[in-house]
Chain A
Amino acid sequence: MTDADEATSRGEPTDNDGDTSVVTTTGLTKEYGGRPIFEGVDLDIAPGAMTAVIGPNGIGKTTLLKTLLGHVDPTAGTVTYTGPDVDRPMGYLPQEPAFRPQFTVSETVDFYASLVDAAVDTEELLCEVNLYEARNRRVSALSGGMRRLLAVGQAVLGTPPVVCCDEPASGLDPSMARRVFESLAGRAADGMAVVVASHTLSLVETYADHVVILESGGVAAAGSPTELIERYDAADLWAVYDAVIDPAAGTTPPDEPTAADPQAGDEPATTVGAPRRGDDSSAERDAAASDAISDSGGQP
């Protein structure tokens, strides 16, 4: 049996033993063709919190999310789901979501809703993702941003204990991007463990409870946005990002945890208080980051 084989399957809950995390990764490593994508990633994904994974393009954010979902087998390490035994333990918003163009928005949501046991209020869900007015429009007639909103609705259908969102704000206008993060933060407040991979740092700083910064090799830093900003004596999460990803260009981090010592900065996610408002001045930088080449997750 390989290490990868030891990874706990999704949907097979294990004893929680009082641990507050709903998903735990231990020594998670992924290689493609001998090239390491990330190594030794230890994460505790807490329920009732939004955990944001940030990092440069191609660093492995998408691969990490897919590994959590069980869509990618780790080269080594384990992913353990310890949440409730439900028919849909994890929801997923892919990086470039799309749906069958022949169906309307309502029909698409109804289709996915019919695959879960829980009763779904389709209209309420469409209102939540701001698609109620477009409910009778064919998917083929939706903009890319509206398709992403539809995918957000799909991801949280049936209220899975964990939802993994890959670039939930990509392609959305600033107000809609904020609305999506607000919606996901609301889900987190209701007890869902929300994991987002995102380049929209102002929204991450505002809404995430726990931030994991991936750098070549693994977790370079982790903590709540406030903790990270204090730790790096930075003005905002952007400055932290600069300091961690490109120390020569920004603030010099004190005692920066490294990929070789990922545990040092990998504190379990914890729920924090009311969401903090982001700095509007960072919107342009977020847009620049969002427009960058999509993270392929390191896949060839």
Chain B
Amino acid sequence: MNSLSIVTTLIGRELRTAARTRSYYLLGLAVGGILLGLTFGGGGAATGYIPTVVDLLLPLEVLVPIVAVAIGYRAIPSDLDRGEVAMLDTYAVSPATYVGAVYLGRAAVLSAIVGVALLVVGLVVALVAAPDTGVFATHSGVDSPILFGRFLVVTLVFGNALVAVVLLASIVVSTARTAIVAAIAAVLVVVVGGEAAIVLGVLDGVFTETTLQLALGFIPNSAYRGLVFETVIGVLSAGESGYASPLVSAVGLLLWTGGSLGAAAGLLRWRVG
């Protein structure tokens, strides 16, 4: 068996598992309902894509980590509890292959849940936004579905980085029952702790303007916010956002993803033997 077909088989297993898990459908409905409610409640739907993004940015910083925890925390610990990881090890499925495939499968599930919800929101904006406010333009650019598409992609990159963090945290503990605690704690540490550390650093004068921007790029939430400001909202606003450059933020999120998956694979190799 080559690695590609093993990965494909394992991803298919994750997707079929998700497709048969009723709670994921409920989660999708809940996420969609919340985002639509915020879209209508915030008035963004009537004014255009960028106002909608502004309405949804902060709620998504909370909602996406919750979705990441919900779909990621049990995946590997349950397989460990059932002995399936040990069984899979006899099929030449390396820990790295297994972790990578589980990640890709779960990332696809998060992308489906959050992505579909945002697509519906975008569709609603396209249908509901008033003609006179449907085009929102400045000297820098013009409101358009493309900007909303960027927002969607950036949101998924952020969410999938958190899925990797959740997978790593779930392997640290010994059982599926404690995995949810570990996953929530890890997300809180990464999301809240990282920004709190930066605030403290600013108050203590640790950061210069340059190092602060760099540091913001390496905190997932800040990186996400920075990417949204720099590549979506920033198009229509004058001046600098104060966040890291899109490149630094993107690298930051990719490092969280890759680093977490690498550590998860190493930890799993150690646990299985």
Contacts and interface: CB of A to CB of B under 8 A. Distances in A.
Contacts of A103: 16-17, 20
B79 to A, nearest CB: 8
Interface in B16-63: 16-17, 20-21
Nearest to B22: A102
Interface residues of A, number: 33
A100 interface: yes
B1 A71 contact: no
A112 to B, nearest CB: 7
A96 B90 CA distance: 16
B90 A87 contact: no
A160 interface: yes
Interface string A89-101: 0111011111110
Given A66-B273, A73-B273, A114-B9, A94 B86 contact: yes
A288 interface: no
A154 B82 CA distance: 13
B90 A100 contact: no
Contact of A71 (B5, B13, B78, B89): B89
A159 B256 CA distance: 41
B131 interface: no
B84 A69 contact: no
A162 B88 CA distance: 15
A88 B82 contact: no
Contacts of B20: 102-103
A19 B53 CA distance: 71
A149 to B, nearest CB: 15
Given A94-B83, A96-B83, A102 B17 contact: yes
A272 interface: no
B13 to A, nearest CB: 6
Interface in A216-274: none
Interface string B89-120: 11111000000000000000000000000000
B66 interface: no
B92 A111 contact: no
Nearest to B92: A87
Contacts of B123: none
A92 B87 contact: yes
15 contacts: A66-B86, A71-B86, A71-B272, A71-B273, A88-B91, A90-B90, A92-B86, A94-B87, A96-B83, A98-B83, A102-B16, A107-B16, A115-B92, A117-B1, A151-B87
Given A87-B91, A112-B91, 12 more contacts: A87-B1, A88-B92, A91-B90, A92-B90, A94-B83, A94-B86, A98-B81, A99-B84, A100-B17, A100-B84, A103-B17, A112-B87
